Every structure is written in C-alpha cells, then in structure tokens.
Amino acid sequence: MGIPPHLIPLDSASGLNMSDLELLYNFTSATFATFSNDSTIRSIWKNAVVRKALGCEFIMRALLAVSAIHMAQHKPEQSHQYLSRAITYHNIASREAVTLMGKLLPEDLEDLWIYSVLTMYFGTYVISLPVPFTSDAASIAHSSSFCMCSLRRMNVKTGMVLDSLALPIAATSERLTVAILQIIRNLSRTN
C-alpha cells in the first residue's frame, strides 16, 4: 500500500515534508510537556524518545500521530487535516508494531514499549476530542487495548514485573511514563 497523496512531501524539490517537520516541532515544543509535570520525564520524551524515533519509523509515526492529535485540539479550524494525518500515521505504525509484537524479540522490546505508550497517549487524546467517534476511533481504542495485552505478554515472556503498567487507558500520562521508564531501565540492566 502506497503513501496517501496528502502525506507526500510538500516541497518535492527539497525533499522536505514540511507538515511532518511541523508535527515534530510541535512534539518537541509542546506535546511532550503534556505527558508529565516532572522535568526529568519531560526531558526524556523531548530528547531521548525523539532521538530513538529518528532510528525507528513506527515510533516516529506514532510520535507524529500523537502530535497531530494534539494540534487538532489546538487548531480546531484545521482539525480534520490533523486528524486525518494522525489516523493515517497511527495505522501505518500499528501495522509494523503489531507484526513485531507477534515475535517479541529482545532487540525490539524497547521500541515496542515506546510505541505502546505513545498509542495509549494517542487513544487518550482521541477520547478527549470534541468530535463524534468514527470507526477509526474504535480502531484506535482496540489498538490501545491490544498494546496493553501485548505488554502483559511481554511481562510473561521476559520475566519482568510490569504490574505498574496494568493500568486502564484513562490512567495519567505521568504514571504511564514513569512505568515505561522503569521498564526501559530494567531492560538496559539485563542487556
């Protein structure tokens, strides 16, 4: 399946996709700050996770999807454009991540954790939008639930204790971020 026309770079002469750059800028200047009040956690989302996303397309697409949903909330006159981009990016990221979740290789765990947390943020943003639910919103809710089931499966497969992540989707972003950071630290210690 090819990339939809609205996702093709806007300035084909330079090869830059200004819309994606706008979303990345929004994430690093505003969206990350909505994830936690703790400055250390905010710094990790602004710097380390973005750096990680530069090397992993499905994390980058999930990150851009969260940013697009955030922008849809703050630019209601362009919300349809941002929602369309967010759902497209989330769907593309999900296809790759869900395939990897079926295998659960140790080298993919950190990327999948980050993707899963971004998907939960994404679902939380979608639920808070003042627009009627669509089939895409239902798909996002299902994907968020699937991520929680996969996280529990990773717990069984890797022997890590992840009880702190067995939270409902409505849990605060800060608690999710703290939990994911603890898991990433545990993964780092075991490698």
Does the model's pTM come out above 0.85? no
CB 71 within 8 A of CB 120: no
- pLDDT value at 6 more than 80: no
- pLDDT value at 103 more than 70: yes
Maximum average pLDDT range among 14-18, 89-93, 135-139, 168-172: 89-93
Burial 77-107 (b: 16+ CB within 10 A, else e): eebeebbbbbbbbbbbbbebbbebbeeeeee
Q: Kindly report the average pLDDT of the chain as a whole number.
A: 73
Give the separation between CA 100 and CA 56, rounded to whole angstroms. Answer: 12
Give pLDDT tens digits for 38-58.
888 889 999 999 999 999 999
* In the chain, where the domains are located: 9-190
